[in-house]
Amino acid sequence: MERALPLADEFLLLALRENDGRLLVQSSVVRAGLAGAFLSELTLAGRITLAGDHITVSDPSPLGDPDLDAALGRIAGESKPRKPEWWVSRLIDNDLTKLRLARLTELGILDAEAFRILGLIPSKRHPARDAGPELEIRTRLAAALDAGHADDRTTTLLALAHASGLTSRLFGIKGRELRERVERVTQHDWAGKAVGRVLSAAALHAVLI
């Protein structure tokens, strides 16, 4: 059986538009989702714990993923426990999306195609080379929405996708029905809520300045 992709990579596959490999939402939203995915992955791996409403390190040993291990090192080196949304905002990194896209390209899941924005600015898009992994992820999330429950990894991924505004784009459900079905599955997930709070605060700040 193949090893599951890290949550960050699964989230990133959901955030890419199918036909041309560009991001479905703003890059800042994707970076926040990736930060939340790192926290969730470290929790599932038994490296950090949510004690009350603060994150503490329960096992500082590395996992072998450079990005995850860097996040774990930062959390372990912090002077006191912090709330999840504090860590989401601190783990957002401008290079994070590029690093995970490069990983998925190396795995043969994505292609990397050079193009120029407005014909001037060099950039890259990442259409799927192997559509299987994303199809499996979407199928798993759709099944969770239908069943009203899921395993921990799927629950967290659904919460992160919804907080990032992706679920309405991925499934033929919108509005109140979508919110209620997502909440039924993710009501106890904290990482997605932390990402949502960070994004809401950033949006409010943008309106006020």
Q: What is the pLDDT of residues 174-201, one digit of tens each?
A: 899 999 999 999 999 999 999 999 998 8
Q: Does 1 map to a domain?
A: no
Confidence band for 205, pLDDT divided at 50, 70 and 90: very low
8 Å CB contact between 141 and 154: yes
Contacts of 2 (CB under 8 A, 6+ apart): none
Q: Does 64 map to a domain?
A: yes
**Look-up: residue for tokens 């407005």?**
118
Q: What is the pLDDT of residues 17-26, one digit of tens each?
A: 888 888 999 9
8 Å CB contact between 32 and 85: no
Number of domains in the chain: 1
The pLDDT value given to residue 116: 78
Q: For the domain that residue 11 is a member of, what is the CATH number?
A: 1.10.3630.10
Q: Does 148 map to a domain?
A: yes
Q: What is the pLDDT of residues 90-120, one digit of tens each?
A: 999 878 999 999 999 999 999 998 887 777 7
Domain limits for position 163:
7-208
Q: Does 135 map to a domain?
A: yes
- Per-residue b or e along 117-138, where b marks 16 or more CB atoms closer than 10 Å to that residue's CB: eeeeeeeebbbbeeeebbeebe
Q: Does 34 map to a domain?
A: yes
The pLDDT value given to residue 2: 54
Structure tokens at 130: 């192997």
Among 35, 37, 12, 41, CA closest to 25:
12
Q: Does 86 map to a domain?
A: yes
Q: Does 2 map to a domain?
A: no
The pLDDT value given to residue 3: 61
pTM comes to 0.92
